[in-house]
């Protein structure tokens, strides 16, 4: 058998060298390559996975019946644990890998994380036990060639490193603690069949054997690869993406262990890529001597840039010493990676499809989080209360048609509006100076630094109010008029109109 590692020896030598030291390199490479198939899928003909009930094979044998079936085993665990524990719903969760084993780690502030105890899912002590490290504060900084970049320091923002797997395993215990629930590993979603009063979900095991399960609702939490999201959104499930790679490692020479580096760019845009990309780092201390570093960039989903995680990992290992210097006892404990999705809505309200009859999408499959600051985890924690209570009510009242289920969403008008700002961070070498993103963001940092702490906290916690954003934007335009020309180049008429509609929807939602 050809090892995946051998296949990348020549194409990605730095990645090869780093992964050669990992005991589970093959599994990680398999998952990385699986995620990288996303790029091909965007170009392929649409696969139909939501089928009418009358096409269900006549010999389909139903292996089990549940209130809720969750396809995907990451954020689903948090939702399912509440549905099972608090609302007594019978749930099945399946994942084509291992449920409750994520390829990421998360940051959040403690107050926000405590939503999980407020909702009754865990005790405060249990929630605290998932925090690997808490730090004093965090900062954001964008490269300036003269070294005069503004370092924007903030408190109580993304200042807890959460051990994702520990948190998910706590949720898993809750689910399996209630009778009748089940978790299936190595089980892939194939398709589903819609009936008037239920849905049948077809899955297959690693050997390709088919199984059928019946449910009131199929909850699609398959992340960015969701074929359901792809079908419902006619092949455009995301408008923008943020490919992200990194490691949890120890042995850096210059890591600071009580401060988080929330966003840090250390150079101008990389113009060797087709359209170019502004690479950004993040650095967070974690448990013990571990330190987490990520490298990522924002881009349009259909840009010609090479956005593969494999290539980004190669860039990561080449440039890591410029950001944090690995010492002589440097050791990688685990790679982390994923494609963070984003969707810019063209309308006053949500314009992305996130439900169908007996089907609802949450997490990255729904793509309603902000890729700028918080992403899917923060969005789920913030919205968990109503995402569970509303779905329970829908089940009780048997309101499971699309028009009812699509009202149960993590859509937040402020987050949708703020997502437009990501377009300014998508570098384009045809129109932008190499330091364009850094210059613009440095000005934003100066503006925020002049304003009270709550502005920066609100911006980086997805809690901004429309009047606060207006203050920031007006001050920015005053200080840095180039942003107006950039708006024209980055958003154009269509994009500016969409942004305006999003802002109007946000303003209107505040009045309701």
- Does 223 help bind ligand FAD (rule: CB under 6 A)? yes
Rounded Cα distance, 284 and 257, in Å: 8
Helix (H, G, I), strand (E, B) or coil at 456: helix
Least Cβ distance, residue 416 to ligand FAD (angstroms):
16
Q: Where would I find the beta strands (DSSP E) of 175-325? A: 182-184, 187-194, 199-205, 210-220, 240-252, 259-264, 280-285, 291-296, 299-300
Q: How many helices (H) and strands (E) does the chain have?
A: 17, 20
CB of 9 to ligand FAD, least distance (A): 25
Closest CA to 76 of 176, 165, 171, 161: 171
H helix or E strand, kind and range, residue 82: helix 76-85
Phi, psi of 106 (to 5 degrees): -125, 155
C-beta closer to ligand FAD: residue 93 or 441 = 93
| Sole window of 99-107, 123-131, 142-150, 324-332 interacting with ligand FAD (rule: CB under 6 A) | 99-107
Using rule CB under 6 A, residue 384 touches ligand FAD: no
Question: What is the Cα–Cα distance from 227 to 225, expressed in whole angstroms?
Answer: 6
Cβ of residue 199: shortest distance to ligand FAD, in angstroms? 15
Instruction: Tell me how far apart the alpha carbons of residues 220 and 362 are, in angstroms, rounded to a whole number.
Output: 6
Q: Does 83 bind ligand FAD (CB under 6 A)?
A: no
Question: What phi and psi, each to the nearest 5 degrees, are found at residue 460?
Answer: -90, 0
We find the least distance from the C-beta atom of residue 470 to ligand FAD, in angstroms, to be 26
Q: How far is the CB of 95 from ligand FAD (least distance, A)?
A: 4
326 binds ligand FAD (CB under 6 A): no
Give the CA-trace dihedral at 508, 510, 511, 512, to 10 degrees: 90
Give the nearer residue to ligand FAD in terms of CB position, either 158 or 476: 158
* Token reading at 449: 């630094």
**Residue 93: which residues within 8 A CB-CB, separation 6 or more?**
69, 70, 72, 73, 76, 77, 80, 99, 175, 182, 183, 184
Write down the least CB distance from residue 101 to ligand FAD, Å. Answer: 8
Q: Does 189 bind ligand FAD (CB under 6 A)?
A: yes
122 binding ligand FAD? (CB under 6 A): no
Closer to ligand FAD by Cβ: residue 381 or 491:
381
Site for ligand FAD (CB under 6 A): which residue of 85, 138, 260, 376? 376
* 106 near ligand FAD, rule: CB under 6 A: yes
User: Contacts with ligand FAD in 232-271 (CB under 6 A)?
Assistant: 244, 246
Of residues 291 and 294, the one with the C-beta less far from ligand FAD: 294
Residue 335 touches ligand FAD, criterion: CB under 6 A: no
**Shortest distance, CB of residue 335 to ligand FAD, whole angstroms?**
9
**Side-chain half-sphere of 140: how many Cα atoms within 13 Å?**
24
Residues 336-375 that bind ligand FAD (CB under 6 A): 336-338, 340, 363-365, 369, 374-375
Alpha helix (H) residue ranges in 357-481: 376-396, 402-405, 413-419, 436-450, 453-460, 466-479
Residues 131-160 that bind ligand FAD (CB under 6 A): none
Select from 73-81, 147-155, 417-425, 496-504 the region that touches ligand FAD (CB under 6 A). Answer: 73-81
Q: Which of residues 395-424 bind ligand FAD (CB under 6 A)?
A: none
**Residue 366 near residue 409 (C-beta atoms within 8 A):** yes
Shortest distance in whole angstroms from residue 226 CB to ligand FAD: 7
C-beta closer to ligand FAD: residue 106 or 313: 106
Give CA–CA dist 412/211, Å, rounded.
37
Binder of ligand FAD out of 107, 215, 438, 502 (CB under 6 A):
107
Instruction: Report how many residues bind ligand FAD under the rule CB under 6 A.
Output: 36
The residue (of 225 and 447) whose beta carbon lies closer to ligand FAD is: 225
Residue 272: Cβ-neighbour burial (10 angstroms; 0-12, 13-18, 19+): exposed
Considering only 18, 32, 222, 415, the residue that binds ligand FAD (CB under 6 A) is 222
Q: Nearest distance from residue 371's CB to ligand FAD, in Å?
A: 8
- Residues of this chain that bind ligand FAD (CB under 6 A): 71-76, 94-97, 102, 104, 106-107, 188-189, 221-223, 225, 244, 246, 294, 336-338, 340, 363-365, 369, 374-378
């Amino acid at each position: 058998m050809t090892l995946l590692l051998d296949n990348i020896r020549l194409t990605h030598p730095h990645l090869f060298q780093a992964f050669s030291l990992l005991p589970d390199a093959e599994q990680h490479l398999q998952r990385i390559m699986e995620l990288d198939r996303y790029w091909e899928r965007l170009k392929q003909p649409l696969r139909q996975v939501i089928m009418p009930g009358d096409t269900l094979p006549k010999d389909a044998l139903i292996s089990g019946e549940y209130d809720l079936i969750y396809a995907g085993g990451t954020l689903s665990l948090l939702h399912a644990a509440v549905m099972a524990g608090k609302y007594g719903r019978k749930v099945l969760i399946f994942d084509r890998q291992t449920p409750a084993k994520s390829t990421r780690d998360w940051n959040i502030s403690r107050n926000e994380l405590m939503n999980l105890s407020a909702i009754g899912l865990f005790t405060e002590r249990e929630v605290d036990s998932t925090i690997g490290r808490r730090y004093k504060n965090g900062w954001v900084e964008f490269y300036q060639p003269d070294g005069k970049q503004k370092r924007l320091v903030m408190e109580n923002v993304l200042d807890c490193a959460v051990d994702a797997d520990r948190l998910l395993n706590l949720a898993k215990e809750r689910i399996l603690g209630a009778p009748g629930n089940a978790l299936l590993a190595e089980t892939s979603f194939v398709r589903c069949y819609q009936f008037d009063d239920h849905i049948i979900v077809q899955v297959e095991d690693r050997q390709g054997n088919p199984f059928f399960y019946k449910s009131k609702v199929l909850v699609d939490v398959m992340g960015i690869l969701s074929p359901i999201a792809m079908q419902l959104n006619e092949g455009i499930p995301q408008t923008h993406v943020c490919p992200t790679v990194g490691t949890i490692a120890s042995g850096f020479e210059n890591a600071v262990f009580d401060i988080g580096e929330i966003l840090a760019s250390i150079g101008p845009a990389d113009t060797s890529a087709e359209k170019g990309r502004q690479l950004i780092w993040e650095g967070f201390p974690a448990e013990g001597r571990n330190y987490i570093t990520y490298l990522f960039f924002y881009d349009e989903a259909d840009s010609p840039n090479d956005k593969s995680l494999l290539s980004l990992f190669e860039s990561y290992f080449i440039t890591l010493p410029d950001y944090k210097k690995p010492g002589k006892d440097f050791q990688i404990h685990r790679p982390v990676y994923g494609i963070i999705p984003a969707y810019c809505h063209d309308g006053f309200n949500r314009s992305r499809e996130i439900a169908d009859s007996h089907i609802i999408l949450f997490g990255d499959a729904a793509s309603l989080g902000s890729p700028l600051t918080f992403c899917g985890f923060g969005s789920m924690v913030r919205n968990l209360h109503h995402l569970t209570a509303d779905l329970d009510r829908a089940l009780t009242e048997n309101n499971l048609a699309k028009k009812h289920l699509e009202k149960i969403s993590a859509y937040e008008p402020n987050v949708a509006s703020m997502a437009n700002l990501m377009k300014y961070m998508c570098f384009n070498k045809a129109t932008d100076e190499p330091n364009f993103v850094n210059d613009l963001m440095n000005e934003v940092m100066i503006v925020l630094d002049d304003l009270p702490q709550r502005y920066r906290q609100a911006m980086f916690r997805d809690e901004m109010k429309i009047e606060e954003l207006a203050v920031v934007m007006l001050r920015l335009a005053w200080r840095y008029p180039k942003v107006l020309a950039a708006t024209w180049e980055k958003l154009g008429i269509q994009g500016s109109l969409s942004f305006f509609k999003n802002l109007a929807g946000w303003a209107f939602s505040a009045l309701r």
